[in-house]
Amino acid sequence: MVRGRSRLDGTRCGPPRVPTEEAILARDRYECQCPGCTSRRGLRAHYIVPLSEGGSDTPENQVTLCAGHRSIIRDGHARVFGRAPDDLTWELGIRPGRPPMRVYRGQKLIRSEID
Ligand SMILES: [Zn+2]
């Protein structure tokens, strides 16, 4: 590897750049990334770990969500964690004192209480 070569090959040759929200939405093909969701309403980049909780401003910490799923996550009924875009785990249907109703790795359902 030659230091300072183009970023086109994926190497880092300087401080990480701060992605714009537009870049996150484009990476995620302007679709809500919550499993099974096809909404494009109110799409925004969502911080997986909030900046206020020490999350980073890198693309790996941001995922595109529709207004509905941002609300569901904000209200504590769903959770996403991991690194975007290829290593995300989703817990949907979070209820106090019980396991989430569905758990996905990426778009793949790995556990469900609903059949
Ligand atoms: Zn959605």
pLDDT in tens, 31-85: 999 999 989 999 999 999 999 999 999 999 999 999 999 999 999 999 999 999 9
Cα–Cα distances in angstroms (integers) from residue 32 to residues 84, 99, 105, in the given order: 13, 24, 15
Q: Is residue 5 part of a domain?
A: no
Task: Give me ligand 1 centre to Cα 36, in Å.
Answer: 8
Residue 1 has pLDDT above 70, yes or no: no
Task: Give me ligand 1 centre to Cα 58, in Å.
Answer: 21
DSSP per-residue letters across 45-98 = EEESS-GGGT--SSGGGEEEE-HHHHHHHHTTSEEEEEETTTEEEEEES-BTTB
Residue 8 has pLDDT above 60, yes or no: no
Task: Give me ligand 1 centre to Cα 7, in Å.
Answer: 32
Of the listed ranges 1-5, 10-14, 84-88, the one predicted with least confidence = 1-5
Q: Is residue 9 part of a domain?
A: no
pLDDT of residue 9: 53
- Average pLDDT estimate for 3-23: 62
Q: Is residue 58 part of a domain?
A: yes
How many structural domains is the chain composed of? Answer: 1
Q: Is residue 4 part of a domain?
A: no
Task: Give me ligand 1 centre to Cα 37, in Å.
Answer: 5
Task: Give me ligand 1 centre to Cα 6, in Å.
Answer: 35
Q: Is residue 3 part of a domain?
A: no
Average pLDDT, the chain: 88
Task: Give me ligand 1 centre to Cα 71, in Å.
Answer: 10
Q: Is residue 10 part of a domain?
A: no
pLDDT of residue 10: 52
Q: Is residue 11 part of a domain?
A: no
d(CA 59, CA 62): 5
Full domain range(s) for residue 61: 18-112
